[in-house]
């Protein structure tokens, strides 16, 4: 091999070695140490190989060995190079959130951005699992006339876990009460309307596939509150049945007790202050048996869900309201179920000031003979700036809560004027008194003077007048019973006109006393 060729190979080997050195240093300065060690060890090898005549190596072997230095440098440099570190530290000023909390916040924001509309029962299509039903309901729209009312923000409270739900379905049962409460797939039924409403209650539960109720509440023993509860027990079972009394002399209560014993665990008379869980909501008994009559014996309870609350008062009147106020109970509520169908005898100013509701619901029958809700109660609600919903004008009323705000929808007439008293239900067209049930006697006596006048304008003077029987109603009569059918009516009820005088039983006293005597309330005037 010529000297020029040897020089060329050595220059090539050195050049490759320098490239290997650069790569090794780029990977890690620490690689310099093993690289220098490799250079010392391998540098003499090409010179030895060049003695090919003595050892028999081919001439190209010196080039291959010359490559050993850069290859060794790259290899040792790669081993010495440290693994790059990923900076997992958080940027200054940024606070990481727990993933569950982030997901929860996203769900809450999404829930707050949507208007919640509770479905019409007839439109609901759900699976048989009660837990999934509440989610399905929130996605189904009600009738086109239904509109949602959103509440203003309420005070902050603990954030409810994702997937929670709360709703109240105020069922239109005419001149009666019924409300179905749902929380996280748990259900409570508060009252069930009259006996003829059993099928309504049965249908509501069946359409929602609710075959298990956590709690059933009969707020008091009157038929218009417990009469339809057997319909609930015919479709569903209940873990707990509450009522202020466990015995009462009426057919409606006997049926209620019978079915409660069969499918509701029997009747339990709760204690004031007792609390019950309904999903993530809390039910508290604020009062019961606070007066001498059945209306004032009503269970008064409040349901708390997050920062929202719902007060149910049954038929409580001033006596029961005063007892609650005197006991110092916390009565504040977002939504008030107005007591006694809007009767003037309840929802007093002092009670309303203590509750301070944003919304009110009145369960009342259209064209009822009581004149409910009375203008006195509606005036108080107007003065308190309470948004009011009524079943007589709007049908079923639906309310939902996300724990901070509530929203409402109705079956019909979303824009109805709910704070104007209904037109009086007048049996005799010639009378113009704005009577309630208590003024019917004066209405009857007052018609005698105009009776002949109206009679002469519409009938010959020789034709007998049709009103003499009603004119004979004794002053102060509260009810007129039919001795034959054992039904009792208000004196103003149209059924009284068809009753033979010999069958009439005039009575001054209470409704309960009529029932105790074996009489059944008229289904037309609902005394």
Domain map (residue ranges) of the chain: 3-80, 164-410, 437-521
pLDDT(445) > 60: no
Mean pLDDT of the chain: 76
Query: What does the pLDDT average to over 418-427?
Result: 72
Q: What is the pLDDT of residue 479?
A: 87
**Contact yes or no for 43/10 (Cβ under 8 A):** no
Interval 142-185: pLDDT, tens: 343 444 444 434 444 445 666 789 999 999 999 999 999 999 99
CATH class of 164-410: alpha beta
Q: What is the pLDDT of residue 177?
A: 98
pLDDT(508) > 70: yes
Choose from 433-437, 440-444, 472-476, 489-493 the range with maximum mean pLDDT. Answer: 489-493
pLDDT(301) > 80: yes
Identify the H or E element spanning 60: none
Query: What does the pLDDT average to over 182-211?
Result: 97
Interval 7-64: pLDDT, tens: 666 666 676 667 666 666 666 566 666 666 666 666 666 555 555 554 444 555 555 5
pTM, two decimals, is 0.56
- Tell me how far apart the alpha carbons of residues 171 and 423 are, in angstroms, rounded to a whole number: 23
pLDDT(525) > 50: yes
- Whether the CA torsion 331, 336, 342, 348 is positive or negative: it is positive
pLDDT(327) > 50: yes
Neighbour order of strands in the sheet with 166-170: 149-150, 406-410, 397-401, 166-170, 178-183, 186-192, 212-217, 237-242, 267-268
Helical packing angle, 32-42 and 68-80, nearest 10°: 160
Give the burial string for 444-477 (b: 16+ CB within 10 Å, else e): bebbeeebeebbeeeeeeeeeeebeebeebeeeb
3 state DSSP class of 242: strand
pLDDT(383) > 50: yes
Higher per-residue pLDDT: 136 or 330: 330
pLDDT(213) > 60: yes
């Amino acid at each position: 091999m010529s000297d020029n060729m040897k020089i060329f190979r050595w220059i090539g080997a050195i050049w490759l070695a320098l490239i290997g050195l650069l790569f090794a240093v780029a990977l890690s300065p620490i690689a310099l140490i093993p690289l220098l060690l490799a250079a010392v060890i391998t540098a003499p090898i090409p010179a030895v190989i060049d003695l090919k005549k003595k050892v028999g190596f081919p001439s190209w072997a010196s080039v291959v060995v010359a490559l050993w230095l850069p290859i060794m440098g790259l290899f040792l440099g790669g081993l010495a190079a440290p693994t790059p570190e990923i900076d997992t530290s958080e940027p200054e000023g940024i606070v990481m959130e727990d993933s569950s909390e982030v997901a929860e916040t996203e769900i809450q924001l999404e829930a707050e951005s949507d208007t919640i509309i509770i479905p019409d029962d007839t439109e609901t299509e759900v699976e048989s699992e009660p837990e999934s039903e509440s989610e399905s309901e929130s996605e189904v729209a009600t009738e086109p006339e239904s509109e949602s009312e959103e509440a203003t923000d309420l005070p902050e409270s603990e954030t409810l876990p994702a997937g929670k739900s709360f709703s109240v379905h105020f069922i239109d049962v005419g001149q009666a009460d019924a409300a179905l409460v749902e929380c996280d797939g748990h259900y409570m039924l508060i009252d069930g309307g009259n006996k003829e409403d059993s099928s309504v209650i049965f249908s509501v539960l069946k359409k929602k596939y609710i075959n298990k109720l956590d709690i059933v509440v009969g707020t008091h023993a009157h038929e218009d509150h417990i009469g339809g509860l057997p319909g609930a027990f015919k479709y569903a079972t209940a873990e707990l049945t509450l009522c202020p009394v466990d015995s009462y002399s009426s057919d409606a209560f006997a049926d209620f007790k019978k079915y409660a014993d069969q499918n509701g665990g029997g009747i339990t008379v709760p204690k004031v202050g007792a609390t019950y869980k309904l999903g993530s909501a809390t039910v508290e008994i604020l009062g019961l048996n606070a007066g001498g009559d059945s209306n004032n014996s009503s269970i008064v309870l409040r349901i708390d869900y997050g920062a929202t609350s719902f007060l149910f008062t049954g038929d409580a009147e001033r006596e029961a309201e005063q007892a609650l106020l005197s006991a110092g109970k916390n009565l504040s509520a977002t939504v008030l179920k107005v007591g006694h169908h809007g009767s003037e005898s309840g929802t007093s100013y002092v009670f309303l000031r203590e509750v301070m509701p944003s919304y009110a619901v009145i369960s009342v029958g259209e064209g009822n003979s009581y004149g409910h809700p009375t203008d006195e109660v509606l005036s108080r609600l107007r003065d308190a700036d309470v948004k009011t919903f009524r079943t007589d004008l709007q049908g079923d009323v639906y309310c939902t809560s996300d724990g901070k705000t509530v929203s409402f929808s109705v079956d019909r007439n979303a824009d109805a004027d709910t704070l104007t008293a209904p037109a009086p239900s007048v049996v005799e067209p010639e009378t113009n008194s704005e009577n309630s049930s208590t003024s019917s006697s004066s209405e009857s006596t007052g018609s005698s003077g105009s009776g002949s006048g109206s009679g002469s304008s519409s009938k010959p003077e020789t034709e007998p007048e049709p009103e003499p029987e009603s004119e004979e109603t004794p002053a102060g009569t509260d009810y007129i019973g039919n001795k034959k059918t054992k039904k009792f009516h208000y004196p103003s009820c149209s059924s009284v006109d068809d009753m033979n005088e010999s069958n009439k039983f005039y009575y001054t006293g209470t409704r309960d006393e009529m029932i105790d005597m074996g009489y059944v309330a008229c289904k037309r005037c609902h005394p």
